[in-house]
Structure 1
Amino acid sequence: MRINTFFYGLITITFLLVSCSKDEILEERTPESADIQQEVSSKALKQIGTGVMMQAFYWDVPAGGTWWNVVKGKVSGWSNAGIDAIWLPPVSKAMNGGLSMGYDPFDYYDFGEYNQMGSTETRFGSRSELTSLITTAHNNSLSVIADIVINHNSGGDSEANIFTNSNTYTDYNPLSGLFERTQYDFHPNDYHNNDSGVFGGFADMCHHKSYVQDWLWKKSNSVAKYYKNTMKFDGWRFDYVKGFEPWVPKEFRNAVGGFAVGEYWDGNVNTLKWWTDQAQMSAFDFGCYYKMRDAFMGNNLNALNGDMLWKRSPTRAVTFVANHDTDEIINNKILAYAYILTHEGYPAIFYRDYEHWLDKNKMNNLIWIHNNLAGGNTTNLWTDNDEYIARRNGGSGKNGLVVYINNSDSWQERWIQTNWSNKKIKDYTGHSGWEPTTQGGKWVKIQAPPKGYSVWSLK
């Protein structure tokens, strides 16, 4: 994640505030506009993971409350292209109001309807526009993934803090009237001084407090249940999960179900595997990301032989080439997409790559290849400095494929062994016009264009 706001300073006025814990306060309240309802399609949604995820935003998308409508206008085309889910930015009102990208959350129940933090709408639009977007996505069989930011908060008022003997910005009184917070809900407090990590100078939420757990996932109108049952979100992307223990997103997800993925920003695959096992959900495959960066920016495809989460746990790896926080693979980026869209894992594509920067026809072709051909486990067939060849062995109704990535400046050819005997194959990218027939021993010669790729399967 990335925050585009200022850090809160600590005011050194020391006096004692006597206050009671809110752990017993469990009153049920709903937003004034909770009666905003739109019909949600009964059309079956695509199963998340059977297609490709679209990250439906980038950092500093246009402000002015237009973004939900922009995305709404694209979901039909994305669904037709083979997208199965869209990941939205944080949807609730944040400290910087209409300017915020949402990663400095203030009121979890203000989706652009209360005049607070300097605006009524969020940067992305109003509550009615958000619900209309979600309905339209569902009508196009797309699941909608919410970005959940629960490590830290921003925008609280100053209060005398008995745990720091100073004033801290930890007094939260959102206009929704839901999930009010004080010093008892942040670190340090009467439970402990800290948890796994803090983000900058923001108020660090304490997930061990029963009051916090009630509002995040236990109560009938908790964040988890309200987002699932009222706002109709289908899945969860947990931001900055290094900041709290893996049981936290696990409990949140257990309360409401749905697909879930964590942003554990670490290239150490052992650590990623540990986290997915503990949290019992997917993680973004930063191991794969950094190996692709080394391969394509370092012009050495041998890096693709390195360890990645998808090689350890393919059903829990969300692979990606770029996102709103990091976009380092500049050279031959389409080759990186050819890699993740032909290999195991659940690939996510970045809005700007798809809509602005890369050839959309090539991206759609790779999405089709992923959805229709890329089945079964993976066998590496050849890797050197300039060439990489791998085979998907087929399964779940898919014939499998052979992908040939060529990072050199000239056409390359190689003999490789397929899973097909005496069968005609073709390059489904259209880059090669060859249609060779495999030998009885399943061997065949294939080719790939310079600074390009080819993907072969049964004709």
Structure 2
Amino acid sequence: MKQGVLMQYFEWYLPSDPHLYQKVKADAQHLFDIGVTALWLPPAFKGIGGTQDVGYGVYDLYDLGEFYQKGTVPTKYGTKDEYLQAIQALQQVGIQVYGDIVLNHKMGADGYEDVKASEVNQHDTYDIEKQNEWIQVPTLFTFPNRHQKYSDFTWDWSCFDGIDYDAKTKRHATFLFQDKTWDSQVDNENGNYDYLMGADLDFSNHRVVSELKRWGEWYLDTTHIDGFRLDAVKHINASFYQDWLYHMRQYTHQELFTVGEYWHGDVQKLLQYLSEVNYSLSLFDVPLHYHFYEASRSFGQYDMSQIFNNTLVQKACMNAVTFVDNHDTQPQQGLQSWVLDWFKPLAYALILLRKDGYPCIFYGDYYGIEKPSLSGQNQVIDRLLYLRQYYAYGQQNDYFYDRHIIGWTREAYGLACIMTNQNGGQLYMYVGQQYQNQIFYDYLENVNETVTIDDKGYGLFTVQDGSVSVYIPKK
């Protein structure tokens, strides 16, 4: 059985033509062959931006590219039929599919309503700056072009607790609706980080919660996906997703693997959230990403022996999805923190060749990025995936003693990884006595010299400047 490898199959600046779903379908066998076991597809529902919406400006959860809304039938990624065909093609070759779920907010309303609201301080949402004024807000969602197919639910202002725009005065600010309170089980940045963007869903409204459960059932029945990636979980009551996931798992009698995006560099915040949801889902290891980012930009000064210190994979490895970069961290994005190209092979070795964590590969790292034009690193990632699939098993021995040259070995099939963020050098590492007198070579071809394992099962492994080498037995 293959070791799990997740791939995020999109980046922010993908063109809308050709449709991504068509590419996914054609790419399914290749993805399976290189060792991908699950694919995270982008949000599939119609957004406010039509074919230009990446998927996070959610308009209609029931429109997967089926209805003429927001100036288009297809979403940025294709039609509903293409989406379903892509999912089926992936599952037929043995790849699971995770849907990207965006329930925090809605955008692109069909009408306006007059409501009483208080303007709050954007940097401290408990601080009310103007109390109870009448504003005009885009909160009426009737989806006239869907004609109530799949759901007759109408969203009005009572389904939300706040918004960031008053159409009457054309004023951008954060407003809390009268008789509403921000969700409490959220991140405490900005006092309370319930509000993120758009019309913010009120998860204390039972009608809203019931409709989201009905939608979840419909989405699973329609797509037959295998799991979820949850967007912006730190802005949503923790109890909501714990309850919603329990409902979906009971409904399908399936595991429905789920990973949430809780964007914070402090691992304690992630651990607190996992505790609040009773470890019912995994989280992306954001602290580890920031370690990669810092290491890639520290001109060799980063202490590589501490690369896993205070990361989720260190503190809660069973709930950690490790990654190098994603659509939010890529250049020109709001959370831009791009790991430099020279460090990418080191970072991918750190997530793919060790025993802990569920690694996620980014489309932009593999295939490249449209804007700014950045080349992919598919050749080295393919090699690391091969090593994960055939060699990265068994007892793991760590050599994290030096500030710059670190390494580890895996004993089952013989693997020794060594890397440095500074000058090259050597590590004397144990691979197992069963390999004595065997010759190991660098599968990544960064070092030409081979290594002969001694009678005690050790070898002296070499790495070049700012590089990574992975040694395996010569056949």
Which TM-score applies when normalising by structure 1? 0.81
Indicate if the aligned counterparts of 1:391 and 1:400 stay in contact, CA closer than 8 A.
Answer: yes
Q: 1:315–1:361: structure 2 CA closer, same or farther, 3 Å change rule?
A: same
What secondary structure is seen at the aligned counterpart in 1 of 2:37?
Answer: strand
Q: In structure 2, which of residues 404, 411, 426 is the aligned counterpart of residue 413 of structure 1? A: 426
Greater share of strand: 2
Give the whole-Å Cα distance in 2 for the aligned partners of 1:271 and 1:420: 43
Q: CA deviation at 1:82?
A: 0.3
Aligned residues: 403
Q: Are the aligned partners of 1:104 and 1:154 in contact in 2 as well (CA < 8 Å)?
A: yes
Indicate the residue corresponding to 1:67 in structure 2: 20
| 1:35-434 equivalences in 2 (<5 Å) | 50-64=3-17, 66-156=19-109, 157-162=111-116, 165-174=134-143, 175-176=145-146, 177=148, 178=151, 179-187=153-161, 188=176, 192-195=180-183, 196=186, 197-217=193-213, 222-257=214-249, 258-279=256-277, 280-298=280-298, 299=300, 300=302, 301-327=304-330, 328-332=338-342, 333-343=344-354, 344-356=356-368, 357-375=375-393, 378-392=396-410, 398-399=412-413, 401-410=415-424, 412-420=425-433, 423=436, 424=438, 426-427=440-441, 429-431=443-445, 432-434=447-449
Residue type at the aligned position of 1:194: W
Check whether the contact 1:287–1:308 (CA below 8 A) recurs between aligned residues.
yes
SS in 1 for 2:114: strand
Which segments of 5 or more consecutive residues in structure 2 lack a partner in the other structure? Answer: 118-131, 162-175, 187-192, 250-255, 331-337, 369-374
Note closer, same or farther for the CA distance 1:428–1:211 as it changes in structure 2 (3 Å cut). Answer: farther
Is the partner of 1:83 in helix, strand or coil? Answer: coil
Deviation at residue 150 of structure 1 after TM alignment: 0.7
Alpha carbons 1:59, 1:324 under 8 Å: kept: yes
Distance 1:252 1:229 in 2: 16
Unpaired segments ≥5 residues, structure 1: 1-45
Kindly report the root-mean-square deviation, in angstroms, between the aligned alpha carbons of the 2 structures: 2.3
Deviations 1:342-395 (A, max 9, x none): 122111111121113234222111012223332357543134343111234x5x
SS at structure 2 position matched to 1:270: helix
Which of 466, 469, 473 aligns to 1:451? It is: 466
Distance 1:385 1:417, change over 3 A: same
Distance change (3 Å), C-alpha of 1:241 and 1:305? closer
Which secondary structure does the structure 2 equivalent of 1:450 belong to?
A: coil
Name the SS of the counterpart of 1:125 in structure 2.
coil
Query: CA 1:374 to 1:172, structure 2 compared with 1: closer, same or farther past 3 Å?
Result: same
3-state DSSP of counterpart to 1:348: strand
Aligned-residue sequence identity (percent) comes to: 26
Residues 427 and 457 of structure 1 are in contact (CA less than 8 Å); yes or no, is this contact kept in structure 2?
Answer: yes
Kindly indicate whether the alpha-carbon contact (under 8 Å) linking 2:397 and 2:430 is maintained by their aligned counterparts in 1. Answer: no
Which amino acid letter does the alignment assign opposite residue 135 of structure 1?
Answer: Q
Change (3 A) 1:406 1:208: same
Q: Secondary structure at the match of 1:109?
A: coil
Query: How far apart, in 1, do the equivalents of 2:194 and 2:18 lie?
Result: 30
